[in-house]
């Protein structure tokens, strides 16, 4: 293996420690802790598992964490009323509605109802606009892209003037990370290309990338010959390709595969993220960071 492994678990631990210390200091100086509500509608197993991890992390950091589980058949009106309640609750600084929502609920309407100043997911159009403008305008960068940028910066990869190629154009990863990397800012200043399902020659674009960020949701899409020797490869793909029995717990767990052919790519890249244990652990971490940030904005110390 020639590539340096970018371990999301290690970077997560560093950042969580930094957050924990800040939470303690703010509690001592201001007598408040960050408040996060996680709203889970129904019992989608993947959502239950994500929300459980978010709650555990928040509690471990000393946050005031409210778990608000709602039945699958909650009406859109009742869900909107619930959001309104938390918008008005001064002890809550972050509101997270776990996605996806059941089909009878308009996801856009729900996300747009969250107070943009409590939108720690960064999905509200106001926060998308703030991100686009950049600089001090940005309040809550969306969690997965923010995690990707932290991984690149903390690994010492040069971004200024780098050719960044983003594979995928989703609202949650592709579009925001492309926007973040082109900003006139530290950890950015890159030349960015976004490629997608209609791009004519994916390979030729990927081959130019000093930093290749892949969020396509297609297992093994990126072939080793598409990688420029020494490039930094960030694999956002978390594809469930089967099941196995965990050696640790004896329980059935999903077999996860990234969008990049890891075994071959690690012999060519300069840096690479594994799946699992790469980008995945960073998303929850950045949610915690955004919730702390929200409290700091409120206290005027951000
Ligand atoms: N479902 C999958 N990922 C996410 C996320 O980052 N935020 C929310 N709210 N729901 C999700």
pLDDT confidence of residue 46: 86
Which residues are identified as catalytic? 54, 98, 121
Q: Encoding tokens for residue 182? A: 């082109």
Q: Encoding tokens for residue 16? A: 């969580």
Q: From the CA of 204, how far away is ligand 1's center (Å)?
A: 32
Q: Give the closest residue (by CA) to ligand 1 atom 1.
A: 99
End-to-end CA distance of the chain: 41
State the DSSP code for 187.
Answer: T
Cis peptide upstream of residue 100 (ω within 30 degrees of 0) = yes
Task: Specify the ligand 1 atom closest to the Cα of 142.
Answer: 6
Strands 4-5 and 35-41: unpaired
Which residues have C-beta atoms less than 6 Å from ligand 1? 96-99, 121, 143, 283
Task: Specify the ligand 1 atom closest to the Cα of 143.
Answer: 6
Q: 231-252: buried (b, 16+ CB within 10 Å) or exposed (e) per residue? A: bbbbbbbbbeeeeeeeeeeeee
- Averaged pLDDT, groups of 10, the chain, 302 residues long: 94 98 98 98 93 97 98 98 98 97 98 98 98 98 98 98 98 98 98 98 98 97 97 96 92 93 97 97 97 98 95
Task: Specify the ligand 1 atom closest to the Cα of 100.
Answer: 1
pLDDT confidence of residue 181: 98
125-133 and 174-182 are packed helices; what angle lies between their axes, rounded to 10 degrees? 30
Q: Encoding tokens for residue 258? A: 């990234």
Label each residue of 86-142 as H, E or C: HHCCCCCCEEEECCCCCCCCCHHHHHHHCCHHHCCCCCCHHHHHHHHHCHHHCCCCC
pLDDT confidence of residue 26: 98
How far is 297 from 1, CA to CA, in rounded Å? Answer: 44
pTM of the predicted protein model:
0.96
pLDDT confidence of residue 1: 67
């Amino acid at each position: 293996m020639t590539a340096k492994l970018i371990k999301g678990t290690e970077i997560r631990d560093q950042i969580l420690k930094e957050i924990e210390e800040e939470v303690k200091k703010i509690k001592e100086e201001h007598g408040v802790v960050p408040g996060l509500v996680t709203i889970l509608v129904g019992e989608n197993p993947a959502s239950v598992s994500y929300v459980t991890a978010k709650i555990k992390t928040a509690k471990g950091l000393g946050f005031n964490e409210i778990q608000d589980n709602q039945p699958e058949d909650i009406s859109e009106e009742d869900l909107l009323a619930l959001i309104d309640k938390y918008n008005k609750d001064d002890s809550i600084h972050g509101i997270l509605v776990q996605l996806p929502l059941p089909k009878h609920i308009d996801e856009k309407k729900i996300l747009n109802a969250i107070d943009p100043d409590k939108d720690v997911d960064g999905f509200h159009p106001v926060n998308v606009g703030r991100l686009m403008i950049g600089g001090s305008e940005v309040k809550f960068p969306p969690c997965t892209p923010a995690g990707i940028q932290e991984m690149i910066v903390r690994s010492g990869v040069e971004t200024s003037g780098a050719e960044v190629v983003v594979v995928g154009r989703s609202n949650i990863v592709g579009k925001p990370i492309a926007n973040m990397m082109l900003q006139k800012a530290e950890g950015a200043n890159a030349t960015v290309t976004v490629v997608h399902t209609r791009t004519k020659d994916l390979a030729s674009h990927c081959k130019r990338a000093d930093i290749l960020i892949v969020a396509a949701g297609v297992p093994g899409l990126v072939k080793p010959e598409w990688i420029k020797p020494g490039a930094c490869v960030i694999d956002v793909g978390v594809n469930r390709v089967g099941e196995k029995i965990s050696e640790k717990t004896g329980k059935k767990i999903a077999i996860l595969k990234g969008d990049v052919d890891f075994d071959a790519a690690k012999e060519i890249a300069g840096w690479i993220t594994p799946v699992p244990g790469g980008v995945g652990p960073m998303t929850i971490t950045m949610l915690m960071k955004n919730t702390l940030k929200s409290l700091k904005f409120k206290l005027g110390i951000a």
